[in-house]
Amino acid sequence: MPMSPRLLRPIASGVHPEAAAWRSAVIANGGGTPSATTMRAVSQLCSDIDKAGIRDRFFRLGIYAGPSLNAALVPLYRGQSRTGTTYGNTTDTNNGPFVSADYVETGASGGLKGNGTSKYLDTGLPMNYPATNGDRHLSVYKNLAATSTDYSIGVVDSGSPLTLYQLVRTGGNFGYFSGGNTLSIAIADAAGLWVGTGTVNRELYKNGVSVASNTNGSDTVNAATRPFFIFAQNNSGSPSGQSDERQGAYSIGLSLDAAQVADYYTAMQAFQTALGRNV
């Protein structure tokens, strides 16, 4: 008796294609196999970003997930779409280096923890990634705030014109720099999702809510190709200001408006909650 075509049809996995691609990359990087719980969380994050219509805003999204440090260093996104052009390193290059004890996937101590002295990640994504001057965003999900002056994400080139992009803690406050040494705002550093973004108007958001903004005109960006560092600043080729914060995610890409930031926060908070490490 022939088998029913229905039984021969593959069972739908429920895994988002970009989550599946991330799982394959994790395995290829020697990171082990992500759990079913992790895959549900990553798939939901991808779906939520799609539904919000903001997928093309991301050139790189790191989520620090999976069963090992090698898994945590595999970014979820490396370009504006799954099948489009990719940018930067296949994995975040581990400098310092971070060790297995620095990473916990789930729970109240979840995320990747810096040491404030030597450890940082090199994304390989150049500071002049395809974007109109000023049309950019940086974000970091802090599971635990830093304790001293340091950088969550940073790159600076001292050429002409001076060009920098930074999410930085200084003097106990947290701020966003974009383009030519223009500080958007600085308020008390704390755990949560921080997004620095803007074109002419620079704006800093915490947990989906604007905390202040200013207007400094459009950025003027030189042609430097220095890559973004995470947990530090790439200071004209050398790391500086390494952070001791604990991160649950970061992103680099095009600017986000207020509604898009709110949608991103909702999606990211759900992801962190699914892993039990939300703040």
Q: How far is CA 241 from CA 38, 147, 166, 257, in A?
A: 32, 12, 11, 29
| 3 state SS of 213 | strand
- Using the predicted structure, report yes or no on whether residue 161 has a pLDDT greater than 90: no
pTM above 0.75, yes or no: yes
Tally of residues, the chain: 279
Q: What is the pLDDT of residues 80-108, one digit of tens each?
A: 999 999 999 999 999 999 999 999 999 99
Please, how many CA atoms are within 13 Å of residue 273, restricted to the half-sphere of its CB? 8
The terminus-to-terminus CA distance of the chain in angstroms comes to 57
Fold (topology level) of 13-274 = Jelly Rolls (2.60.120)
Instruction: Identify the helix (H) or strand (E) that includes residue 178.
Output: strand 173-179
The answer to which of 27-36, 107-116, 183-192 has the lowest mean pLDDT is 183-192
Residue entry with tokens 């581990």: 94
Residue 279 CA to residue 272 CA, distance in Å, equals 8
Residue 29 CA to residue 33 CA, distance in Å, equals 10
Q: Do the Cβ atoms of 242 and 116 come closer than 8 Å?
A: yes
Which residue from 150, 192, 194 is spatially nearest to 171, judged by alpha carbons?
150
pLDDT of residue 57: 97
Single-letter amino acid, residue 75: P
Question: For 38-57, what is the mean pLDDT?
Answer: 98
Q: Do the Cβ atoms of 75 and 244 come closer than 8 Å?
A: no
Report the sign of the C-alpha dihedral through residues 100, 20, 82, 255, in that order.
negative
- Using the predicted structure, report yes or no on whether residue 134 has a pLDDT greater than 90: no
Beta bridge partners of residue 60, listed in sequence order: 252
DSSP class of 207: T
pLDDT of residue 2: 41
More confident residue, 5 or 24: 24
Question: For 145-156, what is the mean pLDDT?
Answer: 93
Residue 238 structure tokens: 């050398």
| Average pLDDT of the chain, as a whole number | 90
Burial of 124: CB neighbours in 10 Å, binned 0-12, 13-18, 19+ = middle
